[in-house]
Chains A and B, each alone.
Chain A
């Protein structure tokens, strides 16, 4: 299993948990994160087979440098508890909790997770939790959900279920979930965790995917789920800084370290004032470009 520190989460590739060939190849497509799905991608009569397969793949398959997360079935379904029992002991990088609506659910799941971890002598810190918002109630409660535990390090939106819950058509422009997106992003910013957007379902429409990804990046999302490996390059490209952005960030961080040594907090780069938030943004840009800011010192 991947032990590398995850520092970016641009593309999250859904892989059906009941497809051995796809699971085996999940790590080779260039996604930052793979999302092994035990929930909606798996038919009811294959839930146990998928759970066993994903469990065994977590033990044996090389997912290379991808973050590995597993989407579990909801705790109130007949499958949720079994998913936790099989998956948590293997300590994937994260588990994704679908259709989360209120803090009580989270309390219940966290208690079970910690109990399983205790039973196996595992820490409570290794496996992160991603909360998935797929209902109007979840959208309304999103800040409370996002801030429930420091173990939650990403909040995500599921467009299909959310529009169904809102009783609206899921249009191509996703106008109906615009408010939800913005509210989720704001909660993620307030809690300083990632916000990951919903999938773009038309895999043939590359331009549409690019436009939507550009848009949600502007909103503040840090990544996007994808349902086909063909979508990864586009999402990664949009979320990867351009060369001029990287150069600018490099100059800012370099100047920051130089001025810090002289105890100067506010300074100018390219004639513009630089303060702490600008430096934070520049460091994030370099991280997205695979440049360790520490090496600039």
Chain B
């Protein structure tokens, strides 16, 4: 057992994952300028001219890919809670008798809960994902899976694919429009979902690639977000999902007074940070206080006549409106949070669809997050060292997503975490978080309704915000204040068994998730 840079015990190796490298620091592994791990070559394939890729059914396409026990199957989660394809494909594989499958979906949502029996039966024996929620998350935390699951970041997933840690045998890529050669997009069609950014690395590296669409268009499908030279088979199905649930509902500006208050305070911190000027680049999450920050930043940009450079990341229609108003020059979109964004990707050349590698992979010559000025992120918990948990809940269950949290925090000049100081009876600002996803060294400020805490490493920022009259508190003082209100919940009881690991974006292990004691 070794200890990582956060003094968290990390096993030297785990069955199903092999040797584990402890987390060493936010930028430690980037400093030498290249990646220590060997990369694996992408699949090289060949196809005779004028042969058809079309299959009559998803089952036929999967069969043609020669499925085998122990295979890795990948999906993207751009259809969010409306996705039908992952469950359909896993059901087909289960019916074929395939077992011991490694599921590598860029994230898992509530739509994927029907695969729970496959996990229980050992048909799925391991999961790699940026997020796990609901019943699957609860089951994972109880140690239902044969091999430890891996929570990675969006940027880290690309690295894992390129190094062969995730060795994709079959990528099944849902598209809202595609042609017979496999050129595919999410930007139009009845099930349009916007950017298909997370699937791009899968298309490139997977041994076999199947594009599934409910909207087969005449050749060529434009824009070809996924290109035909990576695609083995194409299937037309009746529906790839429920379009209403594709828009996740987290994209409207909240009306909750507390979230709005936190967002207002965060926007004031941004305005007085010294970074609020022409050419600013900006990213906010969807939903809650995080998205609401965009509302106040938008108003301030108009008032101060600021024109930003680019918006990044998960994109909402609110961001698209800011682009159309001329508040930003461009959007780089790896993931679209509501269907309305699709039309913008389709029609506006300054709304640029990007893959996860360009978005956040730490090991290239500069991903987009390296150019980011400000990111506003949420949190399930934050500790007095500014470490953030976005993955495990108050009872130890897996109920969140790492997503681009640690990626953007590491890249942005100013990383702002917004959260209430407590939720219901639960303290959110704590002495110690249940699990660390994003290390405190990459977080600059935490904004709560009861005050703003500035990471002591950033004294200059603290002085600026104090000078602006903002309510700055030491995070230790805030923790004590919250403790007086909520008290300390009983600690979660775990066994010693590690059921999952949280991988930092550079491939090191920042934390482990232990089995909840029944």
A229 within 8 A of B: yes
Are the C-beta atoms of A233 and B449 separated by less than 8 Å?
no
Q: Give min CB distance, B481 to chain A, whole Å.
A: 8
Task: Determine the chain A residues whose CB is within 8 A of the CB of B258 once the complex forms.
Answer: 25, 28-29, 229
Question: Mostly helix, strand, loop or mixed at chain B's interface?
Answer: helix
Assembly CA distance A290 to B471 (angstroms): 14
CB of A229 within 8 A of CB of B261, answer: yes
One digit per residue, 1 when the CB lies within 8 angstroms of any chain B CB and 0 when it does not, for chain A 43-78 equals 000000000000000000010100000000000000
A230-B449 CB under 8 A given contacts A24-B485, A28-B261, A290-B469: no
Q: Which residues of B contact A290 (CB under 8 A)?
A: 469
Asked if B255 is an interface residue, CB under 8 A from chain A, the answer is yes
1-31 of chain A: CB within 8 A of chain B:
24-25, 28-30
Give the shortest distance, in Å, between B257 (CB) and chain A (any CB). Answer: 4
Q: Is the CB of B469 within 8 A of A230?
A: no
CB–CB A29/B469 < 8 A: no
Q: From residue 226 to 265 of chain A, which have CB atoms closer than 8 A to chain B?
A: 228-230, 233
Contact B485 A233 (CB under 8 A): no
**CB-CB contacts below 8 Å: B224-259 with A:** 255, 257-258
Most buried by A among B257, B261, B450, B481: B257
Beyond A229-B257, A290-B469, whether A25 also contacts B485 by CB under 8 A is no
Name which of A25, A62, A228 has the most chain B CB atoms within 10 A of its CB. A25
- Tell whether, in the assembled complex, residue A28 and residue B469 are in contact, meaning their CB atoms are under 8 Å apart: no
Which residue of chain A has the shortest Cβ distance to B257 in the bound complex? A229
For residue A283, give the distance in angstroms from its CB to the closest CB of chain B. 19
Query: B78 within 8 Å of A by Cβ?
Result: no
Is B450's CB under 8 angstroms from A230's CB? no
Min CB distance B297 to A, Å, is: 14
| Interface residue from A24, A62, A64, A230 paired with B257 (Cβ < 8 Å) | A230
Contact B485 A230 (CB under 8 A): no
Q: Are A28 and B264 in contact (CB under 8 A)?
A: no
Bound CA–CA A64/B450 (angstroms): 9
Bound CA–CA A24/B258 (angstroms) = 12
Which of chain B's residues 450-501 have a Cβ closer than 8 Å to chain A? 450, 469, 481, 485
Min CB gap A53→B, angstroms? 16
Docked complex Cα distance between A229 and B259 (Å): 11
- Shortest distance from the beta carbon of B134 to any chain A beta carbon, whole Å: 26
Does B339 touch A at the CB level, under 8 Å? no
Contact partners of B469 in chain A: CB under 8 A? 290
Which chain A residues lie closer than 8 Å to B257 at the CB level? 29, 228-230
Please tell me if the beta carbons of B485 and A30 are within 8 angstroms of each other in the complex.
no
- CB of B260 within 8 A of chain A? yes
In the assembled complex, the Cα of A229 lies from the Cα of B449 at a distance in Å of 12
Query: Which partner residue on chain A sits nearest B449 by CB separation?
Result: A28
A:192-238 near B, CB below 8 Å:
228-230, 233
Note all chain B residues with C-beta closer than 8 A to A25: 258, 449
Question: Could you tell me the distance between the alpha carbons of A28 and B255 in the complex, rounded to whole angstroms?
Answer: 16
Instruction: Decide: B264 and A233 in contact? CB cutoff 8 A.
Output: yes
CA–CA, A163 to B404, complex, Å? 54
In the complex, how many angstroms separate the beta carbon of B10 from the nearest chain A beta carbon? 38
Give the contacts of A261-290 with B (CB-CB under 8 A): 290
Give bound CA distance, A31 to B147, whole Å. 53
CA separation between A58 and B485, bound complex, in Å? 14
- From A28, A30, A233, A290, residue with most partner B Cβ within 10 Å: A28
Which residues of A are found within 8 Å of B255, using beta-carbon distances? 230
Tell me if B485 and A29 are in contact (CB < 8 A).
no
A22 nearest CB across to chain B (Å): 9
CB distance from B128 to the nearest CB of A (A): 40
| A175 to B485 Cα, complex, angstroms | 45
Residues in chain A near residue B260, CB distance under 8 A = 229-230
**B450 to chain A: closest residue by CB:** A28
Taking the nearest CB of chain B, how far is it from the CB of A199, in angstroms? 15
Interfacial chain A residues near B264, Cβ < 8 Å: 30, 233
Q: How far is the CA of A45 from the CA of B195 in the complex (A)?
A: 55
- Can you list 22 A-B contacts (CB < 8 A)? A25-B258, A25-B449, A28-B258, A28-B261, A28-B449, A28-B450, A29-B257, A29-B258, A29-B261, A29-B449, A30-B261, A30-B264, A62-B481, A64-B450, A228-B257, A229-B257, A229-B258, A229-B261, A230-B255, A230-B257, A230-B260, A233-B264
**B contacts, CB < 8 Å to A:** 255, 257-258, 260-261, 264, 449-450, 469, 481, 485
Write the residues of chain A forming the contact surface with B, with a CB cutoff of 8 angstroms. Answer: 24-25, 28-30, 62, 64, 228-230, 233, 290
| A-B residue pairs, 5 tightest by C-beta | A229-B257, A28-B449, A29-B261, A230-B257, A28-B450
4 more CB-based (< 8 A) A-B contacts, given A29-B257, A230-B257: A29-B449, A64-B450, A229-B261, A230-B255
